[in-house]
Amino acid sequence: SAGMEAALTNLLEPGDVAMVVENGFFGLRLSEIASRQGAEVVTVPVEWGQTAPPEQVEAELKKHPKVKLLAAVHAETSTGALQPLKELAKLAHDHDALFVADTVTSLGGTPVDFDATDIDFAYSATQKCLGAPPGMAPVAVGPRALEVIQNRKVKPRSWYLDLGLLLQY
């Protein structure tokens, strides 16, 4: 949850538009946290246990041209659905949006190629497939996301998870 919140807290500002693939419990959590950042949340509703067809995501992106980020859960813990990420990342970038990937259940259990997939921000958790003690949230931040973090207009709503503070060290 800290990784998820770090992603959305650092990338979203009040008034931004976030699009979230909701195909399980953790997609719903992404939407909730994005809304708490003051973002307008647009959802791509998908039947639980299914993955989002790229055509459905693209149709939603065309309806909402001001989307700042698209977020999806790679392996939805609540259903076991494994969402292909590469096409979603490409769609996000084709629409000038960041791509955020929840890799909590997938990192260490299935290939997650951050660079080849062109993910802008990914987060995970140590207690799942990594098999390490719980309580840590590894994150990976790409250049587009880093630029957003560095050029915020307002401070993130969390001091503890403010990645901009880390950049000042």
Residue whose token pair is 């958790």: 125
> Would you say the pTM of this structure is higher than 0.95?
yes
Residue whose token pair is 């660079």: 115
Contact 17, 40 (CB under 8 A): yes
3-class DSSP string for 92-139: HHHCCCEEEEECCCCECCECCCHHHHCCCEEECCCCCCCCCCCCCCCE
Q: Which residues share a beta bridge with 44?
A: 21
What is each CA distance from 138 to 13, 55, 76, 143, in whole angstroms? 22, 31, 18, 17
CA max distance for the chain: 44
**pLDDT value of residue 149:** 98
pLDDT in tens, 100-157: 999 999 999 999 999 999 999 999 999 999 999 999 999 999 999 999 999 999 999 9
Contact 61, 88 (CB under 8 A): no
Tokens of 27: 């997609």
Residue 169, pLDDT above cutoff 90? no
Quote the crossing angle between the two packed helices 143-150 and 2-11, to the nearest 10°: 60
pLDDT in tens, 59-74: 999 999 999 999 999 9
